Structure 1
Amino acid sequence: MRNYLKGDMPETIRTRVVKATGYANLVRRAAFAVFKGKVDPKIVARDVAFLNKTIFEELVKRGIGKDEYIRITVVGDYDEKENAIKWSNLVIERFIPDTELQDILKKVKELEELVSKLKKENEELRKRMKEEELARLKEENETLRKEVEAYKARISILEAELEKNQKERDELRKRLDEMSKRTEEARREVARLRGVIRAIMDLASKALKE
């Protein structure tokens, strides 16, 4: 449990608004004022130096420039057992001058206008891209339609050629059948004529013998 000097409670140090370059002296003076007669000045000086170092590191971490205005609030609790001031609840408030605030508001307005402009341009671009995409798809569809029509025409030609070839094959087969039939008839006629010739020769041979 914390120990206090004769019931003293933790002290709150709160500086006035000051440039960041001047915070250390204000914190130092405020600490000496609140702990006067309660804590050895050497201890106050030592622990305030540590506090100011902590504040400086926080300013750097938060990116607060040396010309910016701030106000420091911190709680100091003297621990008699450790003979040291324990610092807690450090608050660094950052203040923006009216002129700088006006500049910031102006820049915010400009950014809002820029965002609005970019949003409008983005919508127009999306619309234009959509129209271009539709035109491209329409063109591709027309190209595909023409290709399909060309394939259909080619298929019709091939079907006609197949039908023609089929008819030619049928006609050729018919002619071959007729030629085979005529060949068979010619073979029979030749055989008959040979028989006739043989008979005539036999008759002639008999006539010569008589």
Structure 2
Amino acid sequence: MNNLLVMAMKLSTGYVRASGYAHKVRRVLFALTRGKVDPKEVVRAAGELNQYIFERFQELGVDKADVVRITVPFEIQDGKIVWDYGSLNIEIYRRSEEEKLAKALEEVEEREKELEERISEIEETATRIKNLVEELLEKIERLKEEHTSLKLKAEE
């Protein structure tokens, strides 16, 4: 471990229930810093960040059933993890909004299905065109062969 090295990194939890954010933060931080920072420092830094996030959750009225995604940049300076709290981002997807989200997802899925159907139609058309081109090329080759054999017969 090179303690003089300053390394910029970013922690991102992915989507997680608010009730499970602390465990996820700790796991992700351990994974990101493996071999770069003493494990005791990881535990300390994760605890510090989790306390900060918990306070933000209270300010924002986050319910434990809400889904969140947390991202925060940090640096490793002299073997210590230093959080950039000013750039902390907490996305919140409230459970009360799940019905709206479900409808939106349903609409997206319908549009994706429509898109897949149209792509399939275009692929079928492209295959038919390809087959026609191959058929035309075969006919052209036959004409050339016939023309060449006629030419040879005429020269005899």
Normalised-by-shorter TM-score class: 0.5 to 0.7
Q: Number of paired residues?
A: 99
Residues 164-200 of structure 1 deviation map (CA, whole Å, 9 limit, x = unaligned): xxxxxxxxxxxxxxxxxxxxxxxxxxxxxxxxxxxxx
Match of 1:37 among 35, 40, 53: 35
User: What does residue 66 of structure 1 align with?
Assistant: 64
Deviation above 4 Å: which 4+ runs of structure 1? 4-8
d(CA) in 2 for partners of 1:43, 1:99: 37
Corresponding residue for 2:88?
90
Show structure 2 runs of 5+ residues with no match: 103-156
Summarize the Cα distance change of 1:76–1:100 in structure 2 as closer, same or farther, 3 Å threshold: same
The equivalent residue for 2:10 is 12
TM-score by length of 2: 0.57
Query: What RMSD, in angstroms, separates the aligned Cα atoms of the two structures?
Result: 2.5
Return closer, same or farther for 1:5/1:66 CA change in 2, 3 Å cut-off: same
TM-score (norm 1): 0.43
* CA separation of 1:65 and 1:9: change in aligned 2, threshold 3 A: same
Report the Cα offset of residue 76 of structure 1: 1.8
| C-alpha separation in 1, matches of 2:45 and 2:4 | 21
Q: d(CA) in 2 for partners of 1:6 and 1:16? A: 30
Mapped partners of 2:20, 2:42: distance in 1: 19
Which stretches in structure 1 are left out of the alignment for 5+ residues? Answer: 104-210
Q: How far 1:100 moved relative to its partner?
A: 3.4
Task: Map Cα deviations across residues 54-98 of structure 1 (whole Å, 9 max, x no partner).
Answer: 000000011111110000101121120xx4211012110012466
Query: Residue 8 and residue 34 in structure 1: after superposition, are their counterparts in 2 closer, same or farther (change >3 A)?
Result: farther
Displacement after TM superposition at 1:8 (Å) = 5.4
Which one has a bigger Cα radius of gyration?
Answer: 1
1:21-46 superposed Cα distances (whole Å, 9 cap, x missing partner): 00011110010011110000001101
Higher RCO (C-alpha 8 Å, min separation 6) = 2
Flag the structure with higher helix content.
1
TM-superposition CA deviations, 1:84-142 (whole Å, max 9, x none) = 21101211001246643269xxxxxxxxxxxxxxxxxxxxxxxxxxxxxxxxxxxxxxx
Contact kept? 2:16, 2:69, Cα under 8 Å: yes
Relative to total residues, which structure has the larger strand share, 1 or 2? Answer: 2
Deviation of 1:11 (Å): 1.2
